[in-house]
Structure formats: structure tokens, C-alpha cells
Amino acid sequence: MTDMPSDSHPLQPRSSGNGTDPRKVALRALADQSRPEAPAGPAWDMTDQILVHTSWDAAQKLLDVVLSSNAGGFALRGSKAGDGVKQLKREGFDGVLLIDSESYDEALATEDAPFVLPKDTLYEVTLDEILDGQLTCGATVALTPTGYLRAGDSEALKEAANVVAALGRDDVLFSVPIDIAWLSNDNIDQLIAVLARLEAPKAVFLGGQFDPLDRYRAAVANMRRLVAEAGHVAVLRTDLNGFDALCHGAFATSIGTGGSSRHIIPFGEQRRSSDNKDRSPSVLYPDLMAFFRGSTLAKQFANARAPECTACGGRPLDTFLGKKDATAAHAHGVHTWSDWITGLIGQPTLVDRANWWRNRCDTARAEYDAVNDRLDQPDGFEAPKALRAWAELPPWPSPTEPAWRRSHTR
């Protein structure tokens, strides 16, 4: 196995102390950059792009929306992803295309088998061949079929990173499907240390029921550390967290269309839902900067006029009530967040982005009280913990550490 370079990224956790600490210097330098550090190779095309993460079936219905938006392309998931990418390329789609094989749903990553490779085949299929297959379909870069990484399974994580380093390819995106507990204070340092040693770009997926970021108080702050310090990190299959990541050093992100495309489920667990019978899609409420079930919006606005989405031709937000409204809800979501991209990209530096994002989140958080007052329901809508963290944490991490690591961790 080839040794990975031990000093590939200056933000890798090392000594702290004096003002010449390379980590501090690098964090300051990152703040002044106009955009995130771009990875080498074809992944360079993904820099500062927000992709739509969805299935091929859903993507076909959203194609026009995506083409007319600021979204950077598709991350297609599931068994038809390869066919979808092929077809899009045939039709001349020139945006970014990724194939998310969802291998994290198939197996745990272990030290012996960090990647999920086909077993019941006549001939052994290698990791290289799997990756080549994605590129042949037309993917911009190939995502590794990494198994699910449970918290603390560090030998599996290290082995996966070692194998990717040994591949020596620049057309590979190392898929890192982690349990959200990797973002706890106990585990984050090692996650950063392992990923920072790897020069190849990485794509982090967050695993957990409901909103994974809600599970740990330190998760948002540590997510920011991860994208700033681990070098060339994208955050895929997420929600508005993708914006937060792009403001703090991530080079790309993908936002899921439906709830199931905005996070992954820990291996071996069934997806949990607050109401299994509710078929209404999740709808992005722009002013509250959060996704709510269509049925929830209808209930809350039963006696009041619901806000209308200007991007969707004035459709009221309380009208997404059944499965048939899913595509419209997805389109509304993409329209809405892609409109925000101009504001994000338009900031002169990353620290300006971070301030811009914090202000947006702060305004949204305040809007919860205003909406609840209008509805005369003090507990009508509750701001997600992640949104509160985006609004309350210092917009740019202090390299001298305290507020950065302590906020929301006690």
C-alpha cells in the first residue's frame, strides 16, 4: 500500500499555540479567498457548484427546472443513476453529473472491505473497474462505492483512504458516508486527520435519522471544521447545510429533492418518519429556510393565507398535499435555493459569504416568531437546531479556537 502524503493540507490538525501555527495561517488565508480551494482533475468543474441530488426518475421531471436555474447539475442516486447520466450526456447536458450508487445502503465499510464491490460475478470486479464504469457513463468524476462508516470504525476509514490514495487517480471522488457521530467532539479530530492526509477530493454524506445535524450539539461547528480543514471536501445529499458548507470551505455540494435524498440512513436501520401514512412532500418554506411537510403547512395555515412562491408562479405553500405534488414541490425547492446562489457566489470572499449566510439565517430565525404571531400559534413553527446554529455561531471560525469549538457544544 502506498503511503499517503502526511502534509497534503495545511489545515490538518497539528500543534496549536503560537501565531505561526500553520492551521491558523491557513484558516485566515481561506477566509480571504474569493472561492473555495478547487481540487485538481475533473472535480475542478464542480467547484462552487450546487447539484440536485435525486433519482433518475425524479430528475427527468426536473430537467427543465434545473436547466433554467443556477443549479450546477445532478447527483443521481439509485440503480438507474448510470442510465440517467448516459442519457443526459447523449442529450448534450453539459452540467456536472455524478453517480451515487448508494453503496452505503448495502454494507458497512470494514477494514477488510471498505468498498462495496459486486460479489456474484463470474470474474472479480475491481474498484478501478467500478470507477471506470461511472466515467464511461459520462460522470464528471467517479464516486467510490464506500460502505457505511459507523462512528469510531476508524480502521475502515483509514483503509478506504489508503486504497484511494494508492489508486493514484485524479478522476475519483472519495465517497465518505459517515454516521453523524463522526461530527461529535470525540471523533471529529480523527476524521479531519485522516481525510486531510488524502490529496484526492472527498464527498461527505451524513448518516442519521431525520435531520442528522440535530443529533449533536457540536455537529454544525464540527461540520465547518471538516470542510475548512480536511482539504477539498464536498458535502453531498444534504439540505441547506450545503450552503453553510460552501460558505466555510467546501468546494461543492448537492441538495436533495425529497427528504430521503437529503441525508442517508445508518446501515441496517429502517428510515423513520414522524408519520408513515403522510404522503405529502416536503416543501421548502423560503422565509423560514427549512423544509416542512405539505400537510404541516396546510394545517398551520388552515385559518390564514399561506405564503406564495414567486418562483412557482404564485403557488401557495399549503397546496402540496399528496404524492402527486412531489415533482412540483421538488421544483419549488430547486427554484428557491438556486435563486440564493447568486447572492452566495457574488460575495467577494469566503468570510463575506459566511457573513451573508449568517445574516440570512438570522433573519429566517426571527421570522419564526413573526409567522407564529401572525398565526396566533406560539409553537406553530419551530426553527431547526441547525438553522439556529447557523445563525448563532460566529460566522467565521476563530483560529484561536474558543468560540469556534465551544459554541453549541456545551
> Which listed range, 211-219, 239-247, 360-368, 397-405, lies at the site for other proteins (CB under 8 A)?
211-219
Question: Per CB under 8 A, does 192 bind other proteins?
Answer: yes
Question: Per CB under 8 A, does 179 bind other proteins?
Answer: yes
> Which listed range, 30-38, 78-86, 185-193, 345-353, lies at the site for other proteins (CB under 8 A)?
185-193
Question: Per CB under 8 A, does 392 bind other proteins?
Answer: no
| Of the candidate residues 62, 181, 233, 386, the single one contacting other proteins (CB under 8 A) | 181
What grid cell was written down for 380?
406553530
Distance separating alpha carbons of residues 140 and 98, to the nearest angstrom: 6
Q: What are phi and psi of 79, to 5 degrees?
A: -70, -25
Tally of CA atoms within 13 A in the half-sphere of 294 that contains its CB: 23
Distance separating alpha carbons of residues 242 and 234, to the nearest angstrom: 9
Question: Per CB under 8 A, does 287 bind other proteins?
Answer: no
| Of the candidate residues 114, 145, 201, 208, the single one contacting other proteins (CB under 8 A) | 208
Residues within window 313-352 making contact with other proteins, judged by CB under 8 A: none
Question: Per CB under 8 A, does 194 bind other proteins?
Answer: yes
Question: Per CB under 8 A, does 407 bind other proteins?
Answer: no
| Of the candidate residues 187, 282, 295, 300, the single one contacting other proteins (CB under 8 A) | 187
Does residue 395 contact residue 354 with C-beta atoms inside 8 Å? yes
Question: Per CB under 8 A, does 369 bind other proteins?
Answer: no
Residues within window 262-281 making contact with other proteins, judged by CB under 8 A: 266
Residues within window 112-151 making contact with other proteins, judged by CB under 8 A: 150-151
> Which pairs with CB-CB distance under 8 Å and at least 24 residues apart come from 269-272?
269/209, 271/209, 272/209, 272/210
SS (HEC) of 317-362: HHHCCCHHHHHHHHHHHHHHHHHHHHHHHCCCCHHHHHHHHHHHHH
Tally of CA atoms within 13 A in the half-sphere of 36 that contains its CB: 36
Does residue 162 contact residue 174 with C-beta atoms inside 8 Å? no
Q: How far is the CB of 157 from other proteins (least distance, A)?
A: 11
| Of the candidate residues 60, 190, 260, 407, the single one contacting other proteins (CB under 8 A) | 190
Question: Per CB under 8 A, does 7 bind other proteins?
Answer: no
What grid cell was written down for 160?
478506504
Q: Which is nearer to other proteins, 170 or 214 (CB)?
A: 214
Note the residues at the interface with other proteins (CB under 8 A): 13, 150-155, 179-182, 184, 186-187, 189-190, 192-194, 197, 208, 214-217, 266
